[in-house]
């Protein structure tokens, strides 16, 4: 495991602010209310630990397979249903949504091999990420991976109530590979997948999934 490079600046800022707050607590409460001061120091320490933990990147060997779609995110499956996808496909698709709590790993990995055929960022609101409307109303970033058989999967990063920053590391035309990072969402958020109607779904509501490890669907072969 290592700390993501995008987390170094936020961690530094939190550390500096924590030190300043700790000095303020010491000057105001250190002598008069030592027990209260210690409790507040404890909260500050937990804040630092949580911030560092949020930007952790686990070292995993990705599951691979020609027809497999693997989860791009750690979290809990909150949606498995047929919907109309209006942005790119403009037809009906199977939507699978993974909710990422503030305690999950928040790096996102490509769900399949292929190339990035579409990308678009949408500014928006910051509803709770587990709200069904967050998929179309919240700040979000969509990308489509197209494989060698012209099978396409849309992956949408969605900012939540706490997540105010979506980061992506790829561009249209880039190669996509299992186990390769494509983005990061800072703090609690969600990732949606839009799959063909004939995809074999391998997860169910409430299931805990791991990025690069959990197979969420199997695509029918076009060969």
Q: What are the catalytic residues?
A: 189
As given in the structure block, the two tokens for residue 68 are 């497999």
Token pair of 181 as six digits = 């990072």
Any idea what DSSP says for residue 187?
S
Task: Considering only the C-alpha atoms of the chain, give the largest distance between any 2 of them, rounded to a whole number of Å.
Answer: 76
Helix count (H) and strand count (E) of the chain?
3, 16
The backbone region for 173, taken as left when phi is positive above 0, alpha when psi lies in -120 to 50, beta otherwise, is: left
CB distance 176 to 112 below 8 Å: yes
Q: Element (H or E) spanning 184, and its range?
A: strand 181-185
Span between the terminal Cα atoms of the chain, in Å: 38
């Amino acid at each position: 495991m290592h700390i993501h490079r995008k987390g170094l600046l936020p961690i530094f800022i939190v550390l500096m602010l924590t030190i300043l707050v700790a000095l303020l607590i010491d000057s105001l409460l250190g002598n008069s209310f030592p027990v209260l001061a210690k409790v507040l120091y404890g909260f500050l320490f937990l804040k630092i630990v949580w911030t560092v933990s949020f930007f952790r990147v686990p070292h995993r060997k990705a599951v691979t397979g020609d027809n497999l779609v693997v989860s791009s995110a750690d979290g809990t499956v909150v949606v498995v249903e047929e919907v109309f996808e209006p942005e790119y496909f403009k037809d009906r698709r199977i939507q699978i949504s993974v909710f990422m709590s503030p305690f999950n790993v928040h790096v996102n990995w490509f769900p399949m091999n292929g190339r990035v055929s579409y990308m678009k960022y949408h500014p928006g609101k910051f509803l709770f990420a587990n709200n069904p409307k967050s998929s179309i109303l919240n700040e979000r970033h969509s990308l489509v991976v197209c494989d060698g058989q012209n099978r396409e999967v849309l992956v949408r990063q969605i900012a939540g109530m706490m997540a105010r920053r979506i980061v992506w590391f790829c561009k249209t035309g880039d190669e996509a590979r299992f186990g390769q990072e494509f983005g990061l969402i800072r703090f609690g958020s969600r990732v949606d997948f839009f799959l063909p109607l004939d995809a074999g779904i391998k997860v169910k509501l409430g299931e805990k999934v791991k990025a690069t490890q959990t197979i969420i669907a199997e695509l029918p072969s076009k060969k």
